[in-house]
Structure 1
Amino acid sequence: MDELKLGLDLGAVAEALAAGEITERQAKNASKFINQVKAVHEKPLKARLIQSDRGQFLGEAHPLDCGAWKAYRYGPEFRDGGKVFPSLEDAEQFIING
């Protein structure tokens, strides 16, 4: 099963299912895994993790297609959806200083 997943070949998963080598559930899970890996390969995550001077992770900043950055502070604020800033430096300052 791991060989099928790591091969990232949906055709091989279909062949294994047709040959009775794996169950429908295994085929579904392998296909889902492969599609998620391919999505990450096509559009890798480019988030920046922001740390304090003491090494504590305070939040993360994500680049937006328009060139701005969306900053998320860890903690209760994280679920609020973050705030958009024109530069990475501004996003970092928001995360560090609140």
Structure 2
Amino acid sequence: EPGKIDIAEFMLKNYTFNIAIERFAYLTGRSLATFKRDFQKAFNMPPQKWLLEKRLKQAHFLIAEKNCKPSDIYLEVGFENLSHFSNSFKQHFGYSPSSVTVSR
């Protein structure tokens, strides 16, 4: 469709940017409702859940495989503050981001 860009490609390139879902919708040429519907079709889950999972998996990779410190990467993967990042990480994986660095 004219004005719409590929949602999957766009999100895979831009998920680390900490912007509102409404802004992602605008940037892909969609209303919020259309964005959510198209997103669900493309990724089989709501955008907020996908963004959180994608960001946390990237963070885990950077900590575990690239020896990065949580305090150095939380902004890079799309979180505004370290506390929210740490809590989300622990809730998702069942252990804190700092325990990943300790267990290496």
Per the shorter chain, which TM-score range? under 0.3
Greater relative CO, 1 or 2 (CA 8 Å, sep 6+)? 2
Name the structure with the higher strand share.
1
